[in-house]
Amino acid sequence: MINKTYLATDPSIWTGRIDGDTYDVYRWHQKVEVIDWSEEDIPNLQEGETGIAILGFMCQEGVKRNGGRLGAVDGPYELRRASANLPVHFPESVKMIDLGNIQCYNEDLEEAQKDLGDAIAKILLKGYRPLVWGGGHEIAYGHYLGVKAFMDKVHPGKRLGIVNFDAHFDLREPNPLPTSGTPFYQMAQDQKAANASFNYLVLGIQKNSNTQKLYNTATELGVRYISGRRFSESDKVAATHKLSAFLDSVDYIYQTTCMDVFAAHFAPGVSASAYNGIEPNPIFMRLFKKIYKSGKVISSDIAELNPRFDIDKRTAKLAAALSFEIVKS
C-alpha cells in the first residue's frame, strides 16, 4: 500500500486509561496494533485467530461536490480518539489492527475510491473483517468496489446485500461527477453491468430529505427501505420482519451507517444534520444487532462524522458505540 493517497496512523492517538495488564481490563488502545502499510504487509492470522482491520477514509470531496458542510475529512482520527478507551469485550484470539488511512489527493475522489476498494479487497483476502471510518458517504462506493472484487474472486455467484442506515437514499445520478449522494446509484449500475442483482436496504429514510425522483428511482431499482417513522414501538415487529426477509434473501452483507440518520441532538457533528432523525434507542439497537447476529456481514463502515460541528463529541461517541457493537459481534 505505497501510493500518494496513503497516510499511516500516528500511533500516539491510541492512548487512554490503563486499569491493568490483564486481558479482562484491556481497552482498545491496549489491543490495537498500528501498522504502517507502506512499510509492512498485513500480518497473517494464526490458526484459531480472527481479525478486525481498521482503515480510515480521509475524504470529503464527495460532500463538497454535493454542497454539504465540510469537516468530515477529520472523522477517522476523531473516531480513533473516541474509541481508544472502549473496553475489550471480545476474545483474545481476535486480532485488531489499524492499517492507516486512504486520503483524497488533489480532489481526485475517483482515485481515492479506487484505492479504498483495492485496500478493502486485500484486507478481505487476508481474512480480516474491515471496519472503515470516514469521511463522507462517498466512502460507500469505494468500499463496495473492494467487497465486489473480493466476492468475484472468492464467492462468485453469491448474492451481496447492502444495508445502509441513512436518512437519504443516496441514489442520485452523477451530474456529471459522482458525489456523496450518488454511491448507491453507482453500485446499482455496476451490478446491472455485471448482470447481478442489486440488493439494497435502507433503514431510517426521511421523506423530507429525499425528492420524489429519488423515491421513483428507488422503486425502479427495487430498493427496499424502512422509513424513520417506523422506528417506533408500534412498528418494531413489522420493521424486524422486513429486515429479516432481506437478510434471508442474501448470502453476504456490506453494512454502512451514515451518522446523519440520527436526530441532530444525538448526532450534531454530521455533514447534513436532521432535526427529525431516528434515536439510537433499543428499537434501533435491536435492528442494528440483528444484522450482525446474522453472521453474514463481511465488511462495515461508518460515514459522515464531522468533528467541526460536533457538540461535546456526541456524534463521535455514538459512532464509537456503534463500532463497539460491530467489533464484539
CA angle 302, 303, 305 (to 5 degrees): 105
CA distance 329 to 297: 10
Burial class (CB in 10 A: 0-12, 13-18, 19+), 302: buried
CA distances in angstroms from 244 to 41, 180, 247, 272, 292, listed in the order given: 38, 28, 5, 29, 12
Q: What are phi and psi of 139, to 5 degrees?
A: -55, -30
Is 310 labeled as ligand-binding? no
CA distance 95 to 195: 37
Is 59 labeled as ligand-binding? no
CA angle 244, 316, 12 (to 5 degrees): 120
Is 168 labeled as ligand-binding? yes
CA distances in angstroms from 170 to 59, 211, 258, 287, 304, listed in the order given: 17, 11, 10, 21, 13
CA distance 134 to 143: 11
Amino acid identity, position 116: L
Amino acid identity, position 147: V
Is 137 labeled as ligand-binding? yes
* Cell numbers that stand for 186 in this block: 453507482
CA distance 18 to 209: 43
Is 143 labeled as ligand-binding? no
CA distance 313 to 315: 6
Is 260 labeled as ligand-binding? yes
- SS3 category, 238: helix
Q: Where are the alpha helices (DSSP H) in the chain?
A: 28-31, 61-65, 75-83, 109-125, 139-154, 183-193, 212-220, 236-248, 282-293, 314-328
Known binding-site residues equal 137, 166, 168, 170, 258, 260
Which residues sit in the known binding site for Mn(2+)?
137, 166, 168, 170, 258, 260
